[in-house]
Structure 1
Amino acid sequence: MSETRSDWSKLCPDLLRSIFGRLIISKDFYRSRTVCSDWYSVSTTCVPTAYPWRILLDEDSTLLFDPGEDNIYEIGHPELDLLKTHVMASCSNWLLVGRAGLNLYLQNVFTRERINLPECLRLAIENSSSCLWINERTRDYVVACSSKQGCLFSCKKGDVTWLCHERIECAYVTYKDGKLYVYTFDRCIEILDLSGDLLVQGNPYRNHPFHIDDSHPKSVVITSSGELLIVVTFKGVNNRYVNEVLNRSFNVYKMNLDNGNWERVYSIGGEMLIFGHGVTIKAPIKGINGWGIKGDTICFGGDEEDIFPSSDRRNRTTNCGVFDLATDTQTSLDVPFFKSFWFVPEYEIVDHETGFFFLV
């Protein structure tokens, strides 16, 4: 009886898209593209699922931990001493970096490319809200930061000065699709259209201040579908299911547009959030190597000392992990480094010397 052999190159495009859609951004995705020309052609129409990496810092090295491959890479950044600077925000392969007495700049984690930003003496480096968006291909970018007094500033590619948005007192800011979403000191949401520096008319959130858990920090999150969420952060709370004290816990709220009430939700639409990034990302269909990285989770980086340099960081272990909204549990990723934080890389072409994939 003769064997029937399948020709993998003849799989229908819809089936191939389904296969590629289930692969995370990893070597598996890019190896699959090399099967044949048909597979490569279909892969160019697919967007693989990104997942977060961690940057691990100590006095002697900068390490990148890839949980998908369960590998740690050491990189040299002699011009980027992250122990002496403040990583204020990140987007894709880029960090928004600040240091007392110096201008802010953008730094590419992999290539070391640097983009200097205009000078602004009123910006606060520490304990301020900041956000970054950048297009990897065009290098178009938008940066927004607040001052200690809550003044909001923004700049974009081509600007020679920062624009001050004087009508808004900013407690937290995030960016998506040409708009800044600002949580103000009076607990309201303002939406600013950067195309004309105008407050968005018809803002459904403006007259519905958020008065839940007033004593705890708040952040604003925009989902891929454009829904606005408010995330409340707690530290050292008891788990409601097991006898465990959590490093971090999060409550997520969405406004009911019919009655204007803020209601707690236990899902972010199957997506995931890197705490502090302000926008959700598509989550892997299955978890990443037991690290708890999956849909409806929040990846957090630990205490504020892990984000900003402190004087007593010797012999510390950073408290970082992944919080599951549905179960109110966390996967702890404690690591013996002075500082550690998440970023979500984009990459496409192999550098055979380092093993990294770069999006170009």
Structure 2
Amino acid sequence: METLDSGRWSDLPVDILRSLFERLSFMDFYKAKMVCSNWYLCSKQTLGPKGGSSPLLLLSPEEGGCRLYNPEEDRVYVPRRDFSGCRFLGNSGKWFLVADSQSNLYIVDVFSDEKIDLPRLELVSCEGCVHSLEPLGDGDFNEALVGNSAGIRKSAEKLRGVVWVDEETRDYVVVCRFDRCDFIRFCKKGDDRYSEIQTRVDLSGKDGFEDVIEQPMFTWYKPFPSAEEEERMRAFKVISESYNIAVVTRSGAVLLVHNYTYESTTTFEKHRMFGVYKRQLKDLDPETYKPCLVEVDSLGDEALFLDLGITVPADATFGIEPNSIYFTRDDRFRLIPLSFLDICVYNLATKSIKRFPTLSSKFKLKDAQWFIPS
């Protein structure tokens, strides 16, 4: 073993540092690696922190900024960067897509504070794009056809986005759009502006995009309520419901998640229920493209993170509960009236729901998002 020649923390032997790093939680690991250059280099030689796959919550208090919450520890961490006036649109692991108060976009590692700047939204998009954005102040934009001054005001609060980041290479893809808009913008590493894609296209062709505006849309239809749901709906008042067609399982299956909130007409207590469905393509009508929906009774040994649109392997070691849905709110990807923040974990088998009341008592939250650091 190496000997310690001085009392400085930066001079701790490498084998001691490795042993220390391997015992830290994920968030403490990222704090420790920023102590000095020696600790940072040693962290690169460590297998990884304990709990690197535990689900965490990024909290956005009404007063501004953000906090990181570990449910397993019931502990709150404060990031290094000041995120006042920012909105968190989406994430890829520990990398979050952030819009500042003027709707400038960037990607940031919420642990190490490493930042990736993105092109400005108001830059005219690539050749072939037909829409432009003009900033109006307060993060809002005027959206118009290229060359025209008249357009439609787009509110910053209606900007939606998703991001993917490769942890090793830092390659990334960002997709963003304003709610109720017929096109999306995207950029990737190396781009200096956004490209534009119409949302009414068929992406399944091998030779590019096919315009399907005049063709029947390949849609999902509202599932019929089960007998249990009908019974509940008779006894309670449904105050909100939503459908998410953004969940891809580990096997590649696409799921529809139906969730609704109902309220007791006597106690006014709110409850939430979820239903998971898949398409039965063999019964698809070639004229109307109407699919048949089949309810999925169980997710098995997987957990569904609705904020991320994916399922992940359940793991008791990291606190990931099997056959469960991790949820925060309905309008993550599109504007839904009467949506409200409801941080919870829903068990499909028992129909039970777990919430986190300590968060409400400690913070006044305007938003929260589940994420898995790695």
> Shared topology, TM-score over 0.5?
yes
Gaps of 5+ in 2: 1-23, 30-45, 122-132, 134-142, 144-153, 225-239, 285-291
Partner of 1:248: 272
Partner of 1:126: 157
Deviation of the 1:229 alpha carbon: 0.7
Say whether residues 1:158 and 2:158 are aligned partners: no
Say whether residues 1:217 and 2:242 are aligned partners: yes
Misfit runs of 4+, over 6 Å? none
Q: Is the 8 A contact 1:274 1:298 kept in 2?
A: yes
CA distance in 2, matches of 1:98, 1:53: 21
**Match of 1:294, SS?**
coil
Partner of 2:253: 227
Aligned amino acid, residue 344 of structure 2 = G
Please tell me the root mean square deviation across aligned C-alpha atoms, in Å.
Answer: 4.0
Deviation of the 1:247 alpha carbon: 4.7
Distance 1:246 1:136, change over 3 A: farther
Q: Is the 8 A contact 2:60 2:368 kept in 1?
A: no
Partner of 1:65: 69
Name the structure where helix makes up a greater proportion of residues: 2
Deviation of the 1:322 alpha carbon: 0.8
Aligned amino acid, residue 371 of structure 2 = V
Distance 1:259 1:237, change over 3 A: farther
Structure 1 or 2, whichever has the larger Rg, is 2
Gaps of 5+ in 1: 1-24, 31-42, 170-189, 201-205, 309-316, 348-360
Partner of 1:50: 53
Aligned amino acid, residue 231 of structure 1 = V
5 Å matches for 1:197-346? 198=209, 208-212=218-222, 216-219=241-244, 220-236=246-262, 246-260=270-284, 261-285=292-316, 288=319, 293-302=320-329, 319-334=342-357, 335-336=359-360, 337=363, 338-346=365-373
CA distance in 1, matches of 2:219, 2:65: 45
Q: Deviations over 1:249-300 (max 9, x none)?
A: 3221101233231112122343212222112222214783xxxx41121111
Deviation of the 1:331 alpha carbon: 0.5
**Match of 2:282, SS?**
coil
Aligned amino acid, residue 111 of structure 1 = S
Q: Is the 8 A contact 1:140 1:156 kept in 2?
A: yes
Deviation of the 1:68 alpha carbon: 3.1
Deviation of the 1:320 alpha carbon: 1.1
Partner of 1:76: 80
CA distance in 1, matches of 2:303, 2:313: 6
Q: Deviations over 1:216-249 (max 9, x none)?
A: 43222111111011112312367xxxx9955533
**Match of 1:126, SS?**
helix
Aligned amino acid, residue 101 of structure 1 = Q
CA distance in 2, matches of 1:218, 1:130: 18
Higher mean alpha-carbon deviation, 47-56 vs 220-229, is at 47-56
**Match of 2:278, SS?**
strand
TM-score, length-scaled by structure 1: 0.61
Deviation of the 1:164 alpha carbon: 0.8
- Count, aligned residues: 263
Q: Is the 8 A contact 1:318 1:339 kept in 2?
A: yes
Say whether residues 1:147 and 2:178 are aligned partners: yes
Distance 1:246 1:296, change over 3 A: farther
Aligned amino acid, residue 252 of structure 2 = G
